[in-house]
């Protein structure tokens, strides 16, 4: 560039400058087409979080779209950088300054229009992607705005597969374990998370002590578990199998051990599991507080319940009326 003369607009006018520009443009188009195809078709299907649920699948699609759109931008920057280093570097012994640049209207307009078009179209796309899969697997607070495609809660005391009634699963975080309550099956609380395949699920997520974050990674669900708050997230599992659950909010010394695995099963397996679990946990369910969207651990005998659920070893900072050491 140093050797190029420039016109008033700053555009290179020499044959060499124009030839460089055409070469760069042609190379950029060819490399971008190859790069976009590779990213969308070869890398895309391997991007997290996979396609194990409606929300996971839509998140993966979003990542593919974003990565594909970013590819020509990255290739353009690296190509220009490489070209400048290879061909426009100062010759040995050349101590002269390059010609000063005073703006280039065409480059500036192209850059501003291009980036504005990308950002605005992605904002529209992102908004649609929040609405279409019912909140995209994120916690939406107690009154979810994005519930498109999710059946209403016709009954909080019963559920059957393919009924016009969303399955409710309450996720309760506490230092340092997750428990799950099923209000439509007698309100039992268990350490196992079981879900039926192809049935919409409404997670009602809360905490008994500090802020945790319920992260069912391969289901594409992530929502804060806040004490005193019901945080709602939706998904529809699409494949039978196991998935991991982690806590994604630093919540104390055993935060890292706050993980377990859940299972997506067939409708009939799920119904059999609920019947068996309800019977197995009947003695615990009796001493549980009535089902509610949030719980006040200062008035609930959490220690007794945890003992019955086998969670005593984890300890915790909540009030335990069974413990004479506590006031
Ligand atoms: Cu936690």
How much distance in Å is there from the Cα of 231 to the middle of ligand 1?
Answer: 15
d(CA 26, CA 304): 71
- What is residue 151's predicted lDDT score, i.e. its pLDDT? 78
How much distance in Å is there from the Cα of 212 to the middle of ligand 1?
Answer: 4
Residues across the chain = 327
How far is the first Cα of the chain from the last one, in angstroms, to the nearest whole number?
78
Confidence grade of residue 19 (pLDDT, cut at 50, 70, 90): confident
How much distance in Å is there from the Cα of 150 to the middle of ligand 1?
Answer: 28
How much distance in Å is there from the Cα of 253 to the middle of ligand 1?
Answer: 10
- What is residue 98's predicted lDDT score, i.e. its pLDDT? 79
Mean pLDDT of 181-188: 93
How much distance in Å is there from the Cα of 257 to the middle of ligand 1?
Answer: 9
- What is residue 63's predicted lDDT score, i.e. its pLDDT? 93
How much distance in Å is there from the Cα of 178 to the middle of ligand 1?
Answer: 8
- What is residue 5's predicted lDDT score, i.e. its pLDDT? 41
- What is residue 8's predicted lDDT score, i.e. its pLDDT? 41
Q: 277-311 pLDDT, tens per residue? A: 999 999 888 888 888 888 887 766 666 666 666 66
| C-alpha 294: how far from chain center | 24
Mean pLDDT over each residue of the chain, to the nearest integer: 85
Phi–psi pair at 186, nearest 5 degrees: 90, 0
> Do the beta carbons of residue 263 and residue 193 sit within 8 Å?
yes
Q: What is the pTM of this model?
A: 0.78
- What is residue 197's predicted lDDT score, i.e. its pLDDT? 95
How much distance in Å is there from the Cα of 126 to the middle of ligand 1?
Answer: 29
Q: Which residues contact 327 (CB under 8 A, 6 or more apart)?
A: none
How much distance in Å is there from the Cα of 148 to the middle of ligand 1?
Answer: 29
Answer yes or no: is pLDDT of 73 > 80.
yes
Specify the higher pLDDT residue, 124 or 295: 124
Strand partners, 234: 202
Answer yes or no: is pLDDT of 70 > 50.
yes
- What is residue 103's predicted lDDT score, i.e. its pLDDT? 86
How much distance in Å is there from the Cα of 260 to the middle of ligand 1?
Answer: 12
How much distance in Å is there from the Cα of 314 to the middle of ligand 1?
Answer: 12
Write out the chain in H/E/C secondary structure: CCCCCECCCCCECCHHHHHHHHHHHHHHHHHHHHHHHHHHHHHHHHCCCCCCEHHHHHHHHHHHHHHHHHHHHHHHHHHHHHHHHHHCCCCCCCCCCCCCCCCCHHHHHHHHHHHHHHHHHHHHHHHHHHHCCHHHHECCCCCCCCCCCCCCCCCCCCCCCCCCCCEEEEEEEECCEEEEEEHHHCCEEECCEEEECCCCEEEEEEECCCCEEEEEHHHCEEEEECECCCEEEEECECCCEEEEEEECCCCCCCHHHCEEEEEEECHHHHHHHHHHHHHHCHHHHHHCCCCCCCCCCCCCCHHHHHHHHCCHHHCCCCCCCCCCCCC
How much distance in Å is there from the Cα of 285 to the middle of ligand 1?
Answer: 24
Mean pLDDT of 263-282: 94
How much distance in Å is there from the Cα of 199 to the middle of ligand 1?
Answer: 27
Strand partners, 79: none
- What is residue 152's predicted lDDT score, i.e. its pLDDT? 75
d(CA 148, CA 133): 7
How much distance in Å is there from the Cα of 228 to the middle of ligand 1?
Answer: 15
How much distance in Å is there from the Cα of 217 to the middle of ligand 1?
Answer: 15
Answer yes or no: is pLDDT of 15 > 80.
no
How much distance in Å is there from the Cα of 98 to the middle of ligand 1?
Answer: 58
- What is residue 94's predicted lDDT score, i.e. its pLDDT? 85
How much distance in Å is there from the Cα of 132 to the middle of ligand 1?
Answer: 29
> Do the beta carbons of residue 66 and residue 114 sit within 8 Å?
no
How much distance in Å is there from the Cα of 172 to the middle of ligand 1?
Answer: 10
- What is residue 236's predicted lDDT score, i.e. its pLDDT? 93
How much distance in Å is there from the Cα of 278 to the middle of ligand 1?
Answer: 26
- What is residue 321's predicted lDDT score, i.e. its pLDDT? 46
Confidence grade of residue 234 (pLDDT, cut at 50, 70, 90): very high
- What is residue 160's predicted lDDT score, i.e. its pLDDT? 86
> Do the beta carbons of residue 270 and residue 184 sit within 8 Å?
no
How much distance in Å is there from the Cα of 248 to the middle of ligand 1?
Answer: 7
Mean pLDDT of 193-203: 94
């Amino acid at each position: 560039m140093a050797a190029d003369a420039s016109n008033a607009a700053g555009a290179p006018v020499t044959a060499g400058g124009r030839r460089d520009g055409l070469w760069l443009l042609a190379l950029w188009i060819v490399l971008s087409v190859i790069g976009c195809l590779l990213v969308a078709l070869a890398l895309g299907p391997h991007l997290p979080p996979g396609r194990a649920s409606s929300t996971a699948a839509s998140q993966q699609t979003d990542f593919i779209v974003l990565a594909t759109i970013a590819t020509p931008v990255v290739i353009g920057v690296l190509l220009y950088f490489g070209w400048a280093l290879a061909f426009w570097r100062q010759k040995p012994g050349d101590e002269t300054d390059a010609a000063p640049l005073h703006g280039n209207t065409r480059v500036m307009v192209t850059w501003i229009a291009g980036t504005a078009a990308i950002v605005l179209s992605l904002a529209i796309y992102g908004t649609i992607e929040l609405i279409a899969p019912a909140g995209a697997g994120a916690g939406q607070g107690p009154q979810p705005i994005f519930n498109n495609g999710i059946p209403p809660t016709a009954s909080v005391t019963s559920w059957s597969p393919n009924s016009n009634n969303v399955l409710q699963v309450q996720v309760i975080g506490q230092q340092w374990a997750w428990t799950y309550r099923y209000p439509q099956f007698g309100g039992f609380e268990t350490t196992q998370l079981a879900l039926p395949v192809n049935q919409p699920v409404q997670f009602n997520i809360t905490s008994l002590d500090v802020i945790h974050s319920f992260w069912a990674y391969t289901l594409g669900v992530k929502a804060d578990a806040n004490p005193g708050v019901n945080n709602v997230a939706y998904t529809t599992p699409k494949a039978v199998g196991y998935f991991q659950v982690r806590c994604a909010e630093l919540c104390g010394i055993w935060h890292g051990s706050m993980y377990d695995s859940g299972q997506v099963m067939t409708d009939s397996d799920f119904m059999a599991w609920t019947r068996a679990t309800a019977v197995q946990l009947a003695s615990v369910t009796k001493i549980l507080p009535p089902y509610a969207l949030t719980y006040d651990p200062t008035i609930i005998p959490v220690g007794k319940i945890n003992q019955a659920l086998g969670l005593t070893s984890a300890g915790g900072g909540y009030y335990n009326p069974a413990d004479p050491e506590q006031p």
